[in-house]
Amino acid sequence: MLVHTVFFWLKDDLSAEQKADFSRGLETLKEIPSSGPVSTGTPSATTKRPVIDDSYDFGLTCVFESVEEHDVYQQHDIHQKFINECAQYWKQVKVYDYD
């Protein structure tokens, strides 16, 4: 099993429409076939603690059966379209993968 988690920090000057466009693009990643769940969202309203980093704007988590399945996801047309259309909206992306 491989858990793929991605955090996106959007550019500060985006309009509400651009943020909504990014969100819609992120949701399309759920259409890519995978063996495990895919979830997206924004920072939760959990109690603030020093160990919590809620500075990001959107998050994505995908669970894959294998590294090979992850690699297929990375090359999928929907994933490539998301990058091509939505990269203009983010200023930073961080990926955390673990087995």
Report the mean per-residue pLDDT for the chain.
Answer: 96
Per the CB < 8 A criterion, the answer to whether 91 and 1 are in contact is no
Q: What pLDDT, on a 0 to 100 scale, did the predictor assign at position 17?
A: 98
In order of 12, 23, 24, 47, 72, the CA distances from 96 in angstroms are 23, 20, 22, 23, 18
pLDDT band at 99 (very low <50, low <70, confident <90, very high): very high
Q: What pLDDT, on a 0 to 100 scale, did the predictor assign at position 33?
A: 87
Region 66-78 average pLDDT: 96
Show contacts of 69-76: CB within 8 Å, 24+ apart.
Answer: 69/2, 69/34, 69/35, 70/2, 70/4, 70/97, 73/4, 73/32, 73/34, 76/32
pLDDT tens per residue across span 16-62: 999 999 999 999 999 998 878 999 999 999 999 999 999 999 999 99
